[in-house]
Structure formats: C-alpha cells, structure tokens
Chain A
Amino acid sequence: AQKVTQAQTEISVVEKEDVTLDCVYETRDTTYYLFWYKQPPSGELVFLIRRNSFDEQNEISGRYSWNFQKSTSSFNFTITASQVVDSAVYFCALSDDRNSGNTPLVFGKGTRLSVIA
C-alpha cells in the first residue's frame, strides 16, 4: 500500500534560516513518482517538483533543493535562506504506476512552515 509520512507537523524558523522538510514514503511498486506541493493561505496547491523513481539526482531550483534517497525511501525538501513568503503548508505526495499512470496522488499530512521576520 502507498503511504507518505511527514513527521514534522509544524516548523517555525526565523527569516534567512535554512529549513528542511522531511518526507518518507512507502510503496511496493518499482516505478513511482514523488511530488512536493505548497499550499499558501490562499488555498490552492502549487506544484513544486515531480521526481520519478529512476532518477535519484538531487535537484536545486533557486532557494529550493530536494534530496531523493531510495535507500531510505526519503524525499526531503530544503529551503535555503527562508523568507516570510515561504510560510505555507507543504505536502509531499506519491503516485505509483498502477492504472497506467493515472493513479491519483496520495498526500502526506503536510508540514506547516512559519517563517518569522
């Protein structure tokens, strides 16, 4: 069965600090996709990244970076030099290869990040 665990419920940091959001997943499939979404107070879920199970390269996009480690089933997300605008709930999500790639996302419970000025 699929499962996504985000153990950190809430994190508070001071602006300009680095922060890492943890994500651990479970799946029996060898082909799967991992996602991170950001949900600001406005409500919509904003796509941040998609990673497939065959690509373990870490990725950096501006102040955001992702560390994918299959050995530990983790897909952690780091924000460098955090800003107040980063305050949001961040969801890690998993989708496997059942149903020809049309299996909907399974979300973790989310981590609420508060960045204090």
Chain B
Amino acid sequence: DTEVTQTPKHLVMGMTNKKSLKCEQHMGHRAMYWYKQKAKKPPELMFVYSYEKLSINESVPSRFSPECPNSSLLNLHLHALQPEDSALYLCASSQKRTGGRIEKLFFGSGTQLSVL
C-alpha cells in the first residue's frame, strides 16, 4: 500500500464553520506534512509532524490547527477561515531518517477547499 488517502475530496464551508480535513497512510511513515496549493502555484509547506510531534509550523494562522492522533493519521482542523484560504490542501508522508538521506514524499490527491 503506497497510498496517502485524503478526505473529503471537496469541501465548501462558510466563514463561521468548523470543519476538519483528514489524511491517512499505512506505509509506516513517521513524518507527515500539510501543504497548501493555490491555483497555478506550487505547494507551500504549512506543517510537519515527526513521530507524531509538530516539528515545523511555517507561521500558519491559528485558524488552521493540525493534529496527529497516531502515526497513521493527520488532521487539519479549520475554524473561522477566510475566502483567501480557498485552495487545494495536500497531505504527504515520508519515512523519517537521520544521517542525511532525504526520502521522497508521497502525496495524497488533496482536498479542494472553498470558503464562502
């Protein structure tokens, strides 16, 4: 199984809603990532979890709240979003290694989020 599964595939929410994006992998990867991708732009890193602990937060607004309940799951909780937060949200995972070897990231197909 080399898949990263993201749900839902599409989400429309109002600015006062609370919703969550979910990501799951069963490859035994211990690093998981959230990226945000606006139309016609490259993915931009939001968060990195390493062994279920938040290791990188790229100055993301607090209306985005990540959670890693176990080694296979990664959530992104959304609250009071703005229309400019509309984007494709991509989850990725990789093996975590030390010693300089950088593993490839496996990406999910993303959640297309529209904030009205």
With A91-B42, A108-B42 as contacts: A100 and B99 at CB distance below 8 Å:
yes
Indicate whether A114 reaches chain B with its CB closer than 8 angstroms.
no
1/0 per residue, CB under 8 A from B, across A80-117: the answer is: 00000000000100010100111111011110100000
Residues of B within 8 Å of A33, CB to CB, are 102
Contacts of A102 in B (CB 8 A): 31, 48, 50, 55, 96-97, 102
Q: Identify whether the interface residues of B are mostly helix, strand, loop, or mixed.
A: loop
Give the contacting residue for A45; candidates B40, B55, B90, B101; CB below 8 A.
B90
Interface residues of B, count at CB 8 A: 30
Distance of A60 Cα from B100 Cα, bound (Å): 25
Chain A residues within an 8 Å CB radius of B112:
43
A31 at the interface (CB under 8 A from B): yes
A88 CB to closest chain B CB, in angstroms? 13
Chain A, interface size: which category? Answer: 20 to 34
Q: Which residue of B lies closest to A100 (CB)?
A: B98
Q: Do A104 and B96 contact each other (CB < 8 Å), given the known contacts A42-B109, A44-B107, A50-B104?
A: no
The residue in chain B whose Cβ has the minimal distance to the Cβ of A6 is B42
> What is the bound-complex CA distance between A17 and B98, given in angstroms?
42
| Residues of B71-116 whose CB lies within 8 A of A | 88, 90, 92, 96-110, 112
Cβ B48 vs Cβ A104 within 8 A: yes
Task: Output the least CB separation between A79 and chain B (Å).
Answer: 20
Which residues of B approach A to under 8 Å, CB–CB? Answer: 31, 33, 40-43, 45, 48, 50, 55-56, 88, 90, 92, 96-110, 112
Known: A42-B109, A43-B112. 12 other contacts (CB 8 A): A31-B100, A45-B92, A47-B106, A52-B102, A95-B102, A97-B100, A101-B98, A102-B31, A102-B48, A107-B42, A109-B42, A112-B40
